[in-house]
Structure 1
Amino acid sequence: MTPTKIDRARIAAFVDGELSPEEAAAVAMHLADHPEDQAYADDLFAANTALATAFAAPLHEPVPQAIRDTIFPPAAQERPPAQVIPFPRRPATLVAGLSLAASVALAVALFRQPGADPFTPGPVAAGSELATLLDTLPSGEVRPTAQGGDLMILATLPTPDGFCREVERIDAAAGAMVQALACRGPGTPWDIAVVLKEPLTDAATEDGFVAAEGAASEGLTPFLDQAEAGLALTPEEEATLIAGGWNAPTP
């Protein structure tokens, strides 16, 4: 019978105790007749012993308090919970022919108050500052708003019903950050589908914008998934869409 070839990988598995008793016996017999492979196995045994000795003590040491505080902040240092203005998830089936924007308007019509903050779920007033910014502001540009704070469009994305724009407003004076998703279809006005609010952190970027944390840490991704949004438009595609008055055909 032709003897089974023993390679370095099998020797390493033998040293690590990963072979069956029959396989381990075959390797042991091989090592007895092959001094070079026996020396290789001895080196592996020595390395394993050295590693076990080096890391045995740290593995049994308690986790440093600084690391524990980072993972589990003391109650006194915890951030106040983010405020989320809820928007009901899109049901699996909608009334035939009802667009995303129309569904949103229907869902929030009872909760929108006249004269309220424009960053509220529901239709955006035609001719308002927010409607103008949504119509004309390229993604990545920062603009101050009459309501206070700076606004930036994060991205424009196509949906089966038209287009959606991710919006972020930073109000340093009020210490608040707002993220919103505004959508529209061909020939229809903008409609805010969801708004996420939370306190402003101290980690501001050079342009005054910060990364979302807490409830806004996932951003608007779940709502974009719900709207079946595609990849963000390129600057060129977005510029063409803005110049055409958002009259491009539905993707």
Structure 2
Amino acid sequence: MADKRATIVIVHGAWVGGWRWRGVADILIDRGHHVFTPTLTGLGEREHLNSPAVNLSMHARDIANVIKYERLENILLVGHSYGGMPVSVATELVPEGVIQSIMYMDAFYPEDGESLNDLVPGEPHLPTEEGDYLVPPPRADLVGFNTHMDAAARAAYEERRTPQSVYCYSEKARLTDARDRIPQKTYVLATGYKNDTFRPMAEKLRARPGWRVEEMPYTHDLQHVAMKESADMIESAIP
């Protein structure tokens, strides 16, 4: 157990929900921490709320409202993959001083005016049918960073993924310097796969004052393949 009990908010990536971080959250809770893994609107157990109104701004508000209504203070805020987008915008909505540490775990790091579709290499995330607003998840067996899954794990994973509003990917983040004023800032790069998406972000932040950049030798799904190590890394950023 860590010497200091922390309040930790972990934000999941695209097409999944808070359930994807249950294993890591359980480890951190067993170590004495206060852990929240909110599911963003339209995803996971909240898929029935999907609509064209769901966008990046709404997901940022989801995070800010958990912090507000749970009256959380001295927070370590963690974003994984897509979660880096709403985590960034949420820093604009939370009073200064509430978030004392922020961690991006193999996550998108937008600058002001950038959308996820501006940052992702190759084709942007778009609906498969004209006039639709939902972007279906890519098949796990076609995504290189999911090759660690056996057939049973892949089936369980596929069953619980849900399509996501395109406006989560196309809306541009509107940022001032709220994120920069957070005292502790960490970026974690997964190096166990051909990481063309997140490596440029890690390298950019490695050269930026005030940032700690760490590496983990695992695939993108750190929370699945390295639960204990992911918990350890999160603990390393406790304010």
- Answer whether TM exceeds 0.5 for this pair: no
TM-score w.r.t. structure 2 length? 0.21
Look at both structures and tell me which one has the larger radius of gyration over its CA atoms.
Answer: 1
TM-score w.r.t. structure 1 length? 0.21
Relative contact order (C-alpha < 8 Å, sep 6+): which is higher?
2
